Amino acid sequence: MHVHESRRSAQAIAATPTMSRMTLSVAAAWMLSLGFDLFLHGGLLARLYVEPSAFLLGPADAFRRIPLGYLAFLVLTLGLYWLLRRLGVRGAITGFRQGAVSGAVVWGAFAAGLYSISTVTMPLLAGWWIGQTLELGLAGAVLGAAANGVPLKRIWAIVMGAVIACVVATIVLQSLGLAPPMKLVR
């Protein structure tokens, strides 16, 4: 029995990611979330932000508060990391599914709560719900791949390629007039 227990302990230690691997995995998932977030809000949903709204802040105030939104995504990514580890999720596809389910629940509840107390429009709420669900799904895919032992160099190469693709797609949408161009706020 003692030998069996020590084998399990050794397996548990081997399965425990190092702090640097954990940090780099979470950072990669967060970076992909930020890239997709730019595409979502600067491209796909951008028209919804230029309409006059009693609910939304003006562009200058919203721009100044962007770091708070990015901090919120980091908190969500850390929570998702914890959840996926607790569930033993391994693999990009399984990670995507679990991340998307988590995103649908969190953002669905958030959207319903906002709708109950604010003047936010249904198209904006639906866009947030769907977009943020996909965003957590993408973060889950990165975290699941990392948990499955995919080399971090490969994960980072894919993440950076996807972030660049999101930036390019946002620029294309804005250049084609399908999304209003971003303006630098002074």
pLDDT tens for 124-146 read 999 999 999 999 999 999 999 99
Contacts of the segment 81-90: beta carbons below 8 A, 24+ positions apart: 81/22, 81/25, 81/26, 81/29, 81/143, 84/140, 84/143, 84/144, 84/147, 85/147, 89/140, 89/143, 89/144, 89/147, 90/144, 90/147, 90/148
Residue 160, number of CB atoms within 10 A of its CB:
14
Mean pLDDT across 3-9: 49
Across the chain, mean pLDDT equals: 89
Residue with tokens 């003006």: 58
Q: Residue 185 pLDDT > 60, yes or no?
A: no
Q: Residue 176: is its pLDDT beyond 50?
A: yes
| Residue 3 pLDDT > 60 | no
The answer to which of 46-60, 79-93, 108-122, 140-154 has the lowest mean pLDDT is 46-60
Q: Could you report the per-residue pLDDT of 88-128, keeping only the tens digit for each?
A: 999 999 999 999 999 999 999 999 999 999 999 999 999 99
pTM: 0.85
CA distances to 29, 70, 72, 112, 164 from 56, rounded to whole Å, are 28, 17, 18, 17, 28
pLDDT of residue 183: 67
